[in-house]
Structure 1
């Protein structure tokens, strides 16, 4: 059994203002889920050494923080590339927690073939996690029957989301508004967006800043070097073609967790 993690009460208090309100404290239903963008990065803004290469960045303290954050969100969201590279369990391992977040996997083009041996299903069978909801652009008639059955057996499912085909790649892509509408329809009131690079960079597009309620970034004291998967959204310019900053955080605070530093902030809209 994986090690159970603990997160001290004083650290919980520091993070509380950055987190979604607890269900019993919400004044009124929200029109969309509370969105927390959170990830671990190196000093050169890399998530991993190379595409498809699993790279550990978080130390024990910030790792426990991430699992605590999962206890405070209804769902955690990753892209299919993260699933293919890492085979993640997508669960919470905080000792004593009774809550498990719903894994949400963005797989518009059905790149992932779920298998019983995948960690996300193993923890589900052990009562230590939930089965994923897979957001896809495929029609129901195009879904692999074996995958549909496996998901249904564990309590997961495919959810069709409106999509558009990218002119550059020919692949289906989602709007973040449509993604969050799909989660809202499933009564998922909050979501942690954890990665990978394409997912994070797309959410950092200025068109979607208004959807992000909180940003929590773990910065590890290491350089990974060139060729990594980098958090760097597409450049924006003014009407004269002069480059502009894509985003800046406000209400910033910094918190040490072992050798790592955690940056919390809110995007200026």
Structure 2
């Protein structure tokens, strides 16, 4: 029975992932309805403001779901938001049993949904594939609890730890499969952030270049508003949300705002943008996640500030050498190996000829 229960929950997880990049700041949720050993309804949360997974699954049922088992990756909501409570729909359709992946961290739910169903006489079992369900919504659980973005530090490097040749050439460190995965990640997260040095050196566009992808908010850490008015980011600022974090208001900042950028005035720390203050401001603006793409100085500053939650390192099996060639992390570094920041829950995923190593801090 337990294996079958996990099989249905993993199917619900597969469905939930279809909402990636479309439901933020809501969680990804999948639901499967089973009657007499047969799946009679499936659904997932498709977009923010749309029906929740449970209501979609009930709507899609091929027969009366009365007495059926309902499997859902996240505890059913019990409050009015953009849509009615899912607990009401479960009760109305006389579902027999409910299996939940993990409880909701939202204070408006947080165990209340499961208790409402139990009080109505519906058996509820929680913790089915719980770790997988929690990992699926690591962004949501962090944001709903802390109100600051979940930050993913991403970089691509050669096997000897270089992100570019000593000449500065960096196209391309990794292959097509790895680069596509980066764009998929861009589509899933709310924002993408770089330092002004990256803008001055690379003039990036920071868009999502896959079919059906969604462009994230583009964020530039630029203490003294050095971002060029003719760079790609500013030329497209009226079309794609572009945020510039500064520590002072000057004529250049005013010009960037006039050109279409959103200016965020932050506290200064060592003459740089205070990243902790920036995260609180972006979180208050509704950004629940950020892909931190560079450069090396900003990456290390973010680690020092404690704002990074996950690391994505794309490793290309090639060697380029060069004592002056850049590495992913700049700054002064930590003084002792014992001070190094360890990752946990590490996974390794092959992407073409390259490898993606992921872990959480």
TM-score (norm 1): 0.75
Q: Which runs of 4+ in 1 moved over 3 A?
A: 19-22, 50-55, 121-125, 141-146, 232-237
Q: Does structure 1 residue 229 correspond to structure 2 residue 326?
A: yes
Q: Does structure 1 residue 247 correspond to structure 2 residue 357?
A: no
1:62, 1:218 within 8 Å by CA — same for their partners in 2? yes
Q: CA RMSD in A?
A: 2.7
Measure, in 2, the Cα distance between the counterparts of 1:236 and 1:146: 38
Q: Superposed, which structure 2 residues align to 1:1-269 within 5 Å? A: 22-25=24-27, 27-28=105-106, 29=144, 30-50=146-166, 53-97=169-213, 99-115=214-230, 118-121=231-234, 130-139=240-249, 141-151=250-260, 156-164=261-269, 166=270, 172-205=271-304, 207-208=305-306, 211-226=307-322, 227-232=324-329, 234-237=332-335, 243-267=337-361
User: Per-residue deviation at 1:245?
Assistant: 4.2
Residues 22 and 260 (structure 1), Cα distance of their counterparts in 2 relative to 1, 3 Å cut: same
Aligned residue for 1:182, secondary structure, equals: helix
Alignment: residue pair count: 228
1:249, 1:266 within 8 Å by CA — same for their partners in 2? yes
2:297, 2:329 within 8 Å by CA — same for their partners in 1? no
Task: Structure 1 unaligned segments of length 5 or more: list them.
Answer: 1-11, 167-171
Match of 2:57 in 1: none
1:33, 1:180 within 8 Å by CA — same for their partners in 2? yes
Higher RCO (CA-CA < 8 Å; seq separation 6+): 1
Match of 1:6 in 2: none
User: Per-residue deviation at 1:124?
Assistant: 5.6
Q: Per-residue displacement from partner, 1:121-152 (whole Å, max 9, x unpaired)?
A: 55566x6xx1411001112x44354332112x
Deviates more, 1:215-224 or 1:72-81: 215-224
TM-score (norm 2): 0.57
1:46, 1:231 within 8 Å by CA — same for their partners in 2? yes
Residues 107 and 247 (structure 1), Cα distance of their counterparts in 2 relative to 1, 3 Å cut: same
1:78, 1:105 within 8 Å by CA — same for their partners in 2? yes
1:120, 1:131 within 8 Å by CA — same for their partners in 2? no
1:52, 1:85 within 8 Å by CA — same for their partners in 2? no
Is the radius of gyration larger for structure 1 or structure 2?
2
